[in-house]
């Protein structure tokens, strides 16, 4: 593995695993107030495109990294969407 | 541009621009409570490695996308860190 590959590998590990503590915090606290729905909607869609890109290129690192990330980001998006819908329903009452 | 490049381009635009609404929300509300410090510390460090990777590969798309993202992620990290330090100081009083 070249030094360039190592830098890319460290980058991929850090940006992929960074969503773990956010998902853990969101599950633990149930608090999504400061989280942007637009961010997670766009980000999850983007990661889905990265996943398709990885499949088209048959790139295992791209497929693996984005499979992990889409689970975390999709989970945070689901929790945020539920909170938004819950808040909307309680306003309508 | 091939269809594969187009899929990668859409992926890059979505995941890069997704941090804009989060940065805007954080600036507007000043609320960082639900945001994970560990996530933004790891993510910002990871994006810095992606930036170095882009420079080593002389890849303009990687450099441009990660320059935009590091600004947003770094801003959110700064606001979160300030909030954590402020909360710690007020607990110590």
| Cβ pair B34:A33 closer than 8 A | yes
Cβ–Cβ gap A56/B4 under 8 Å: yes
Residues of A at the B interface, defined by Cβ within 8 angstroms: 3-4, 7-8, 10-22, 24-26, 29, 31-36, 38-43, 45-47, 49-50, 52-53, 56-57
Confidence of residue B1 (pLDDT cuts 50, 70, 90): confident
CA A27 and chain centroid, separation = 14
What ipTM, to 2 d.p.? 0.90
Query: Which residues from A are below 8 Å from B57, CB to CB?
Result: 4
- Distance set, CA B84 to CA A22, A62, B1, B11 (Å): 15, 34, 46, 33
Q: What is the DSSP letter of A31?
A: -
Task: Note the pLDDT tens digit of each residue in B13-67.
Answer: 999 999 999 999 999 999 999 999 999 999 999 999 999 999 999 998 899 999 9
């Amino acid at each position: 593995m070249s030094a360039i590959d190592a830098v890319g590998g460290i980058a991929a590990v850090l940006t992929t695993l960074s969503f773990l503590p956010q998902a853990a915090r969101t599950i633990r606290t149930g608090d999504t107030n400061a989280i942007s729905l637009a961010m997670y909607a766009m980000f999850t869609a983007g990661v889905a495109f990265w996943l398709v890109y990885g499949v088209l290129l048959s790139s295992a690192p791209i497929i693996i990294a984005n499979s992990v990330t889409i689970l975390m980001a999709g989970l945070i998006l689901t929790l945020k969407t539920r909170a938004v819908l819950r808040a909307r329903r309680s306003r309508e009452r």
